[in-house]
Structure 1
Amino acid sequence: MSQVSHAGNLPPAHQAFFERISAFIPAERIFLGPFHNLALGDDASFYRLVPKIVVKAKTADEVGHLLRAASAEQVAVTFRTAGTSLSGQALSDSVLVYLAGHFKGLRVHAGASHVSLEPGVIGAEANFHLAPHGRKIGPDPASIGACMVGGIAANNSSGMCCGTAENSYKTVESMKLVFVDGDALDTADPVSRRRFVEGHPELVAELAAIRAEILADPELADRIRRKFKIKNTTGYGLNSFLDFEDPIDILLHLIVGSEGTLAFISEVTYRTVVEHPFKASSLMIYPTIDAACRAAVALKAGTVAAVELMDRASLRSVEDKPGMPAYLKELGEDAAAILVEVRAADKPGLLSLIEAALARVEGIEPVFPVLFMDAKDDYEKLWNIRRGLFTSVGGARKPGSAVIIEDVVFPIENLAEGALELQRLMAVHGFPEGIIFGHALEGNLHFVFCPDFADPEAVARYQKLMDDVAAMVVGRYDGSLKGEHGTGRNMAPFVEMEWGRTAYLFMKRLKSAFDPQNLLNPGVILNDDPEVHMKDLKSLTQVNPVIDPCIECGYCESVCPSRNVTSTPRQRITLQRYMALLRNQGRASEYQAFHDGYEYFGNQTCAADGLCATVCPVSVDTGVFTKDYRRRESTERGRKIGRWVADHYGLVTAISRQGLGLSHAVHQVLGTKAMAVMTRTLRKLSGGLVPFWTPYAPKAAPKMEFRSTCHGKGRSVVYFPSCTTRSMGPSALDPDQRGLYEATLSVLAKAGYDVIFPEGLRELCCGLTLESKGKREDADRKSRELETVLRKASNDGAIPILCDASPCLYTMRSKMEPGLKLHEPVEFITEYCLPHLDITPVPETVAVHVSCSSVKMGLSAKFAALARLCAVEVVVPRGIHCCGFAGDRGFFYPEVNAAALADLKPQLPAITTSGYSNSRTCEIGLSFHGGVPYQSIVYLVDRASRPAA
């Protein structure tokens, strides 16, 4: 069903809104109907709402027009960046404005004292650009590698180190904002400030009135000050009225933590903070939580950077994980630990801080002697314990259950009592898997447990638990029900309980002053429905053991090549779960509609690269699932084709080579422009069956004779040229017109290696091409054939084996039994060839792209190091993960390749002469979208090397 036809199903107000925005938003950026909007509307919380309309906005001006249309038609609007928020604040059943993929402006100010960021910038990306200056942004949420600045500021996110001193509220310098009426404000611009004050007298007057009334109530003012001495993101930041006098300064700080309910943040400027280069950490283990918390209180009086509390259940959840200290299994049932970090500008300063920390905990007896570690590898192992907590619970939970991470704050003097009470409440309400950890310096505890929201009894137990937790945190300790995760829908019914009636009414007044029609993210922070936190709960229907552990956190989205053109791993899994639900409920027609929509949106445009697993907290590899999905969806005809290809692989490779030769010949006759026009026309007429052509399309591989060589140095290697090497040669625009086979033999000869080719090479295949199309059985058969031949050629693994394509080598490692020394080019050259080569860097600027298979094999650093050894200047573009070519998929779905590499060319200096990777098909797309020819890194090594003297 088309988007236009879906528009006819909209309520009248949304229909009118759709018609208004269609005048200035292209149709491809407006999504209607349940299929797309279920996927695009999902976030990391345990709620599910499906928006009626999703709009992908690109600029602040577009947002202004959208808000004017929304105000005219009385339609509610919610803004979304990464969707990693946990409390239901990034959901909508009305209009969702999707910002991810755009709004990526980033400007480091002189001296790096400030940084200006648009809302679509990932937090870690901001820190990357600040790192050379020894600075970073203050907020440090655990999701900083995936969450975006818009969400960081809108939720006042913090983390393990920033506490209340360096969060967004304390470090924000200015913002550019768009309000519900479409008007804009730049708080750093005096002219804009004056214009806004003159244009919004009612809002300015109400802010002044609220401030005056709060100041006139000393009891309330004192309570606000006390509440914000600890972490607090429950409700609005009423401390703004006490900390500032100017109405624009009050407004600016009210926006922090307002969760998109007051205005849209189009840019935020932060004052940056110091990133100390010297660090040391200690895992201090104590016999009880009480002792661990007393140690934390003692350390708070010092200058430690972080203190993370972990209860015994937390430590138990990770004790069997690889790399965990053996002594974790020996701890008593009441034991707890604190992970302490100190940071300094120099080594003497670090040692001084360590001595001070040890002195402060000297009177509190630990289970083991306290020891600080200042070597990065050592202290990273300690922090892996803390990082693994959420993973351990999420990965081990019952299939179909959700993962709830609640976030409360106690005055630090009550931290031990609060932690023990949380343990008791989780046990009483039937969540024995629950663990407790948190930022002890701030009294901020997270407790994690796994209810199954498909089970009404579990839902009831969850409600009772949350009621008791709220009563305990607020009634007994006057703590915060949210410290850093935001109020959202989750705690909206409890805001008045925590703050009292007077403060709550002030919050309602300020919301009304900013948004009188309640159109900006309604129901979030303030909600009159006392049961809203128990509605629209997300049920995670079981689909497949590969993807069932997914918690829909969204960490995967930043590395997915199709994220800005179709779907992401999280969205694919969301759709698969809903399809399984439809199938289970016998809703055949709805299931078929989703199934048909998924073919392109979720299946065909999935690169199946597996990079999602490298950032997933529970290691879900959606690529593995996609390959299995293709296998299950394969027709009998498709299976027969797969068997035929596997049985005649040499012929298929030869035909591919001849086709490339023919294509090159036609190109030479017609010229580039005519060739491009002709192939585009043929693609259109054939419905996409004709491959996408670029001037960087490969010619046929040069004719090869696979004859073993002997150089007499006593060094041997088995060389397996991949099928792409055997079929694809360089493009007409590549600087080196040799085949990769020839360049590889040249490097091996310079290093003095005797080359052994496996028997029957023309028929050999690692199985990757077949597996990516869902032909798993045929792929496994080809892999077994290859393994048998390689074992014979390598004397059962005695001789190392080189494959010249990283994706093929990765596949070989994953499928073949241990014992073979399997290497791709970067590994083999670094380990085996460099000792026998003299390298003279080429005097050029070159670009490098590390293929996703090399990333998964942990070769990113080695790849860059080898390139820097061989070239004077090396550029490694940021944010380019998988290139999206995905074998031959780039020939048939070039839009994924184009979207994945959209940021490549702007990052390449004009003087860049060439680029290097280690996958032939990736190099085709990289060359086209980068505007410089990419070839295998073997060519660069060959250019820079000569035999060692």
Structure 2
Amino acid sequence: MSDVQRQDLAKLPESYQEFWKRVANYIPNNRRFCDPLHTLAYGIDASFYRLIPKIVLKAHNSNEVTQIIKASHEYKVPVTFRTAGSSLSGQAVTDSVLVVLQGAWRGCSIIGQGEKIVLEPGIIGAEANRYLAKYARKIGPDPASIDHAMIGGIAANNASGMCCGTADNSYQTVAEMKIILSDGTMLDTGDEKSCTDFLTSHLEWVKKIQEIRNKIMSDPELEALIRHKYKIKNTTGYSLNAFVDFEEPIDVIKHLMIGSEGTLGFIAEITYHTVVEHAHKASALIIYPDMEQACLAVQRLDRDTVSAAELMDRISLKTMEEKPGMPEYLKTLSPTATALLVEVRGSDQESLQQKIKHVEDLLKEIPTVLPMSFTDVKAEYDNLWNIRKGIFPAVGAIRALGTGVIIEDVAFPKENLAEATIALREILDNYGYTDAIIYGHALDGNLHFVFTQDFGRSEDLPRYEGLMKDVSELVVNRFGGSLKAEHGTGRNMAPFVEVEWGKKAYQFMRQLKAAFDPENLLNPGVIINDNPNVYLENLKNMPQAHKIIDTCTNCGFCQNICTSKNLTLTPRQRIVIQREIQELRRTGQDLERLARLEKDFDYSGNKTCAVDGLCATTCPLEINTGDYVKYLRSQEVTPSTRRIAESLASHMTGVTGVMRFGLGAVNGVHSILGTKMMEGITQGARKLSGNAIPLWNPWMPKAGRVSTLRMPSGNNKVSAKSPGATPLKVVYFPSCISRSMGTAKKDLDQRSLSEAMLSVLEKAGYEVIYPSNMDKLCCGMPWESKGFFETADKKSSELEQALFAASEEEKHPILCDTSPCLYRMKRVMPTLKLYEPVEFIHDFLLERLIFNQLKETVAIHVTCSSVKMKLQEKFYNVAHACAEKVIMPQDVHCCGFAGDRGFTFPELNRSALASLKDSLPEDCHAGYSNSRTCEIGLSYHSGISYQSIVYLVDKCTKAR
């Protein structure tokens, strides 16, 4: 333990210090935190509450969780478990101990032909569905956050979604479960011995469960209430339906865990019954003149007819009408117009058409603004669903800076939907929330209403309080609905559980909590809370930090794709820390805390950020946290470092020459000493230098061979064989990286990249043109990534002029052999016809070359720049034209090499590619990408040679 960590620990209450010492026997130091940066970063979730934990632990297996729970009871320290932190009701925040599962708990197995799936809590919902896809099945729950939410949270919140309704949620589809209970006992409901042992060893516990059940079943009025309330979606309080649906104690316990939000025990594994995923789908966006007509349409539909019916009011549609690809007619709708997005599914095209016809017949008598029209074209119905999926993010983007986005979640009996929705609109307007939007899963009577709130203004708190009380009265007393339909109770609805369920049912919930967690140490304050104002306390402030990140709502959708997610911080966490830093700077408060956050952020937030920008591809608001980190780096530029950068940029020929010389020298030493001794010496030297010396690895490239460019004397063209009188022409710009770095010692093809590229172009009949003074040119990316924006723009401007001239003023396409370089070129040179290797080969060469598909298995890595250019499908198609089997590991995103960071911060590359080697089958001996530095890290961490896709294309093609 470092001196700084000891100081942090000393500030905690004594019980927490003792707890820390105990869990230190099981959790390594790099997975235990009590410092200001990590406790704040991990403490934030997607809800509008903020509690900062005293201790954060990353637990990786059941034994660790068991020991944490035992230590919790020994020292009376509460614990809260969290997976992705995408929940919205305050059920995953704490001011005590937060146990984080993200980054581990990745177990998954399929039973039979996909009829069941066994999942650990760290698996993302969409990943589970990917595993099931080949069986044409999926898990039942389908929350809107399924691409980001993890199984642990989906089960613990009984999350549902647009299509699962009440029939296919976790409660209805759970088969078995492994539960770690409050005394540390592991109960495996699928293991007969485990169940028998539990029933014997926990006799008093079991008796209490049976006693509660007997009392409920002997009360016809209460039993009827429970059955009634679960006819619609309901996640308010505990799953009391377990007592009326099941008799055996193990079955009751298993189903009580669903929706218990970590307050009754820890779900270490869950087995789901899966549901059919129909291949044939069609959707229609039906526009009705008003809310009443839309709701009348919903009442004629059921789940046997349609799989989803999503209601969207006019304000909802308005938030989306300016988005790219949206139908133009959205802008012409009246203020009362309401949309219903309907989806039907079928096992084949005939059954799909029958369902479409049936829906049209059911709804034909209800007037519409526009004719009803279904489409089964995937691109078209995906675009319609983008309207629905984009509503909540759109509110986040247009809200006033500094405000938070609140999304509430209620359900009404479907027969009351029209009246209830109109009444809800009136309440929102009465409290001044006139911009609030109403939308939701109308087929289930489930509505979301979304509005923005500034909890920093004292006058807004009573307004929100009044709204919630009136909504509670409307939902519960007037319409007999649910105050929480699918987002869980959390802190947000805890004070209203008794309001919805009544005193009798609520007392059984309290008894249930006391039976499972007698000392109230498992996520206390969630679901059961004696504080009537808890939903108004610890509200999250959303201070402004910078225009790039100010619209962030903390949803966490950026996290899974982040390169550093398992090493340091995620984009959400970087934003959280920066908001705190900027707020402390503005207020001048707690300067000690400010200094500590600034110091610790440098490594965790800055140095280990790959600035790849992939976070923007999954962020609903397209926030590029990488761009913000580049901005932070630019603020650190000094006159002296700027002069150095400009000097290097002005002498590119010398810089690349020095790089080639250095790489050649290192390769020579490697040849003499051998790999093992070379690794030992360089690792020792790096350690002695305090990591100042870059890390060497066996896949370090040799010097680039400039002679292989075959530069002609007197002009800048290389002739190629041409099938016609007028040869095809392409401007070829080898990046400074490919000019400097050659192949590695163990690479399968020892030619330079430019030599392989020329071979491919020659076979395709292209005349190659090089830009003048090529050795002096660079796209500017190395300077941009370090915050030297002016230098980067100067270099890209020079390159643009050279390429403009070489292409005969944009007459010919321009090919750059390195994807990240080309991505920057496309951003700053929008008028030029620019291509990286995969795109050029796909668009121009697939028909010009004869491909001989090799009987091989190859791996491909689509670089982050290629992902942002949406080249994944083209990359796969090119690779598959060359090889019979193509592997594209789903869990590997950006490789984390990030230019030079694979040498200077190799732990980032190692963490990003931790799953790569295990993702590759034994018969895979070659990998391909389109960035030389990325290929170094990919080779090192996979153990196989990764080279440019150009080598593979050259290997398997001949001239047509």
Tell me whether the two structures share a fold, i.e. TM-score over 0.5.
yes
The counterpart of 1:77, out of the listed 76, 79, 84, is 79
- Secondary structure of residue in 1 paired with 2:113: helix
The counterpart of 2:958, out of the listed 930, 946, 949, is 946
Residues 706-758 of structure 1 deviation map (CA, whole Å, 9 limit, x = unaligned): 33211252100000101110100010010111111111111011101000000
The counterpart of 1:749, out of the listed 762, 765, 768, is 762
- In 1, the alpha carbon distance for the partners of 2:461 and 2:660 equals 60
Does structure 2 conserve the Cα–Cα contact (< 8 Å) formed by 1:631 and 1:774? yes
Q: Does 1:775 align with 2:784?
A: no
Residues 182-207 of structure 1 deviation map (CA, whole Å, 9 limit, x = unaligned): 11000011110011111111210111
Which segments of 5 or more consecutive residues in structure 1 lack a partner in the other structure? none
The counterpart of 2:610, out of the listed 588, 607, 610, is 607
Does structure 1 conserve the Cα–Cα contact (< 8 Å) formed by 2:36 and 2:593? no
- In 2, the alpha carbon distance for the partners of 1:349 and 1:702 equals 62
The counterpart of 1:665, out of the listed 643, 663, 668, is 668
**Alignment partner, residue 478 of structure 2:** 476
**Alignment partner, residue 718 of structure 2:** 709
Does structure 2 conserve the Cα–Cα contact (< 8 Å) formed by 1:293 and 1:416? yes
**Alignment partner, residue 871 of structure 2:** 859
**Alignment partner, residue 901 of structure 1:** 913
Instruction: Please report the RMSD computed on the Cα atoms of aligned residues, expressed in angstroms.
Output: 1.0
- Per-residue deviation, 1:425: 2.0
**Alignment partner, residue 891 of structure 2:** 879
**Alignment partner, residue 347 of structure 2:** 345
The counterpart of 1:912, out of the listed 921, 924, 944, is 924
- In 1, the alpha carbon distance for the partners of 2:663 and 2:406 equals 54
Does structure 2 conserve the Cα–Cα contact (< 8 Å) formed by 1:852 and 1:881? yes
Residues 778-801 of structure 1 deviation map (CA, whole Å, 9 limit, x = unaligned): 101111111111111112211000
- The residue identity in structure 1 corresponding to 2:175 is E
- Secondary structure of residue in 1 paired with 2:768: strand
**Alignment partner, residue 419 of structure 1:** 421
Q: Does 1:842 align with 2:854?
A: yes
**Alignment partner, residue 568 of structure 1:** 570
Which segments of 5 or more consecutive residues in structure 2 lack a partner in the other structure? none
Q: Does 1:373 align with 2:400?
A: no
- The residue identity in structure 2 corresponding to 1:846 is V
Does structure 2 conserve the Cα–Cα contact (< 8 Å) formed by 1:233 and 1:487? yes
The counterpart of 1:184, out of the listed 166, 171, 186, is 186
The counterpart of 1:890, out of the listed 880, 902, 909, is 902
**Alignment partner, residue 925 of structure 1:** 937
**Alignment partner, residue 47 of structure 2:** 45
- In 2, the alpha carbon distance for the partners of 1:11 and 1:589 equals 20
- The residue identity in structure 2 corresponding to 1:710 is S
Does structure 2 conserve the Cα–Cα contact (< 8 Å) formed by 1:202 and 1:513? no
- Per-residue deviation, 1:543: 0.5
**Alignment partner, residue 722 of structure 1:** 735
Residues 643-664 of structure 1 deviation map (CA, whole Å, 9 limit, x = unaligned): 1122222211111111111110
**Alignment partner, residue 806 of structure 2:** 793
Does structure 2 conserve the Cα–Cα contact (< 8 Å) formed by 1:751 and 1:834? no
Q: Does 1:624 align with 2:627?
A: yes
The counterpart of 1:320, out of the listed 319, 322, 331, is 322
**Alignment partner, residue 869 of structure 1:** 881
- Secondary structure of residue in 2 paired with 1:368: coil
- Per-residue deviation, 1:4: 2.8
- Secondary structure of residue in 2 paired with 1:557: coil
The counterpart of 2:457, out of the listed 455, 458, 464, is 455
**Alignment partner, residue 89 of structure 1:** 91
Q: How many residues align?
A: 947
Does structure 2 conserve the Cα–Cα contact (< 8 Å) formed by 1:76 and 1:95? yes
The counterpart of 2:288, out of the listed 286, 289, 296, is 286
The counterpart of 2:8, out of the listed 3, 6, 10, is 6
Does structure 2 conserve the Cα–Cα contact (< 8 Å) formed by 1:555 and 1:615? yes
**Alignment partner, residue 691 of structure 2:** 688
**Alignment partner, residue 532 of structure 1:** 534
Does structure 1 conserve the Cα–Cα contact (< 8 Å) formed by 2:721 and 2:762? no
**Alignment partner, residue 405 of structure 1:** 407
**Alignment partner, residue 430 of structure 1:** 432
- Per-residue deviation, 1:467: 1.7
- Name the CA shift for 1:269/1:302 in 2 (closer, same or farther; >3 Å): closer
- In 1, the alpha carbon distance for the partners of 2:505 and 2:648 equals 72
- Secondary structure of residue in 2 paired with 1:300: coil
Residues 220-249 of structure 1 deviation map (CA, whole Å, 9 limit, x = unaligned): 110100000000000000000000000110
- In 2, the alpha carbon distance for the partners of 1:510 and 1:637 equals 67
- In 1, the alpha carbon distance for the partners of 2:639 and 2:69 equals 52
Does structure 2 conserve the Cα–Cα contact (< 8 Å) formed by 1:796 and 1:819? no
Q: Which moves more between the two structures, 358-367 or 145-154?
A: 358-367
- In 1, the alpha carbon distance for the partners of 2:630 and 2:29 equals 31
- Secondary structure of residue in 1 paired with 2:635: helix
- In 2, the alpha carbon distance for the partners of 1:750 and 1:452 equals 64
- In 2, the alpha carbon distance for the partners of 1:613 and 1:831 equals 26
- In 2, the alpha carbon distance for the partners of 1:389 and 1:25 equals 41
- In 1, the alpha carbon distance for the partners of 2:29 and 2:869 equals 41
Superposition pairs of residues 210-225 of structure 1, within 5 angstroms: 210-225=212-227
- In 2, the alpha carbon distance for the partners of 1:824 and 1:679 equals 34
**Alignment partner, residue 387 of structure 1:** 389
Q: Which moves more between the two structures, 880-889 or 650-659?
A: 650-659
The counterpart of 1:240, out of the listed 242, 246, 250, is 242
- The residue identity in structure 2 corresponding to 1:185 is L
- Per-residue deviation, 1:24: 1.7
Q: Does 1:644 align with 2:643?
A: no
Q: Does 1:784 align with 2:797?
A: yes
- In 2, the alpha carbon distance for the partners of 1:321 and 1:458 equals 30
- In 1, the alpha carbon distance for the partners of 2:484 and 2:640 equals 56
Q: Does 1:935 align with 2:950?
A: no
- In 2, the alpha carbon distance for the partners of 1:459 and 1:665 equals 70
Q: Does 1:820 align with 2:832?
A: yes
The counterpart of 2:513, out of the listed 507, 511, 516, is 511
Residues 76-117 of structure 1 deviation map (CA, whole Å, 9 limit, x = unaligned): 000010000000101111111110010000001111110000
- The residue identity in structure 1 corresponding to 2:719 is C
- Per-residue deviation, 1:301: 7.0
- Per-residue deviation, 1:302: 4.8
- The residue identity in structure 2 corresponding to 1:762 is D
Does structure 1 conserve the Cα–Cα contact (< 8 Å) formed by 2:491 and 2:526? yes
- The residue identity in structure 2 corresponding to 1:491 is M
Does structure 2 conserve the Cα–Cα contact (< 8 Å) formed by 1:302 and 1:356? no
Residues 532-588 of structure 1 deviation map (CA, whole Å, 9 limit, x = unaligned): 011111111101000001111111100001000100000000000011111111033
Does structure 2 conserve the Cα–Cα contact (< 8 Å) formed by 1:541 and 1:581? yes
Does structure 2 conserve the Cα–Cα contact (< 8 Å) formed by 1:295 and 1:364? yes
TM-score under structure 1 length normalisation: 0.99
Does structure 2 conserve the Cα–Cα contact (< 8 Å) formed by 1:409 and 1:445? yes
Residues 599-639 of structure 1 deviation map (CA, whole Å, 9 limit, x = unaligned): 00100000000000000011100011111110012233222
- Secondary structure of residue in 2 paired with 1:601: helix
Residues 62-84 of structure 1 deviation map (CA, whole Å, 9 limit, x = unaligned): 11111111111111000010000
Quote the sequence identity (%). 53
- Per-residue deviation, 1:910: 1.2
- In 2, the alpha carbon distance for the partners of 1:358 and 1:836 equals 48
- Per-residue deviation, 1:592: 1.4
- Secondary structure of residue in 1 paired with 2:850: strand
Superposition pairs of residues 153-168 of structure 1, within 5 angstroms: 153-168=155-170
**Alignment partner, residue 257 of structure 1:** 259
Q: Does 1:228 align with 2:258?
A: no
- In 2, the alpha carbon distance for the partners of 1:723 and 1:40 equals 40
- The residue identity in structure 2 corresponding to 1:844 is E
Does structure 2 conserve the Cα–Cα contact (< 8 Å) formed by 1:407 and 1:444? yes
- Secondary structure of residue in 1 paired with 2:846: helix
